[in-house]
């Protein structure tokens, strides 16, 4: 069965709100610190931690390059915590998500981030693992460590193809 088309939407805070936050400086709350030598972009996304012995992990991910056509055959979710990705060298991501709860494949949506945008998946948001577009790129990743199983994968009934 051929994959269904998956349209790409512009990544905005409003559009991404059902899935988490967009991490960007545009229109962010900011203020000068360190005697005015630094600007702090404050409280950009919510880190969620649940379960036994949970703690925040700070990681770096080196994503391999993905090129069109990109088929989406599975999604995953982290029931015990959020997961944030921010490009450290201007990499862009294909972001494929569905709202938390029982997976409804009709509610899968896709976005492409800009070189100065990251995202934070809210706890339980369905998403595809990192997809670094067109080139290898490094991402700062903040997510949850601790006891318990924090990654549930689900194969899609109908694969999708991102219309890049």
Ligand X SMILES: NC(=O)N[C@@H](O)C(=O)O
Q: How far is the CB of 100 from ligand X (least distance, A)?
A: 14
Tokens describing residue 138: 């490094």
Residue 130, contacted partner among Ni ion, ligand X, none, CB below 5-8 A by kind:
ligand X
Q: Judge contact between 102 and 120, C-beta under 8 A.
A: no
Dist CA 113 CA 9 (whole Å) = 10
Q: Which is nearer to Ni ion, 31 or 92 (CB)?
A: 92
* Residues from 98 through 137 that contact ligand X (CB under 6 A): 127, 129-130
Total residues contacting ligand X (rule CB under 6 A)?
A: 5
The residue among 44 and 57 lying less far from ligand X, judged by its C-beta, is 57
Per-residue b or e along 37-74, where b marks 16 or more CB atoms closer than 10 Å to that residue's CB: eeeeeeebbeebbbeeebeeeeeeeebeebeeebebee
Closest CB 78 distance from ligand X, rounded Å:
6
Closest residue to ligand X: CB criterion:
129
Q: Which residue, 83 or 117, is less far from ligand X as judged by CB?
A: 83
Helix (H, G, I), strand (E, B) or coil at 106: helix
Instruction: Assess whether the previous peptide bond of 69 is cis (omega < 30° from 0).
Output: yes
Residues 31-90 that bind Ni ion (CB under 5 A): 83
Binding region for Ni ion (CB under 5 A): 83
């Amino acid at each position: 069965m051929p994959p269904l088309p998956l349209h790409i939407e512009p990544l905005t805070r409003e559009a991404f709100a059902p899935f988490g936050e967009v991490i960007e400086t545009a229109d962010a709350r900011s203020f000068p610190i360190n005697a005015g030598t630094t600007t702090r972009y404050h409280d950009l996304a919510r880190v969620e931690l649940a379960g036994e012995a949970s703690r925040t992990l700070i990681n770096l991910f080196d994503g391999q390059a993905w090129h069109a056509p990109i088929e989406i055959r599975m999604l995953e979710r982290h029931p015990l915590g959020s997961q944030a990705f921010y490009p450290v060298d201007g990499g862009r991501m294909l972001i494929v998500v569905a709202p938390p709860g029982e997976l409804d494949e009709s509610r899968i949506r896709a976005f492409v981030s800009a070189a100065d945008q990251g995202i934070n998946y809210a706890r339980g948001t369905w998403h595809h693992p990192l997809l670094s577009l067109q080139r290898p790129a490094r991402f700062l990743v903040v997510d949850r460590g601790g006891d318990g199983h924090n990654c549930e994968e689900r194969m899609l009934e109908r694969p999708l193809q991102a219309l890049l």
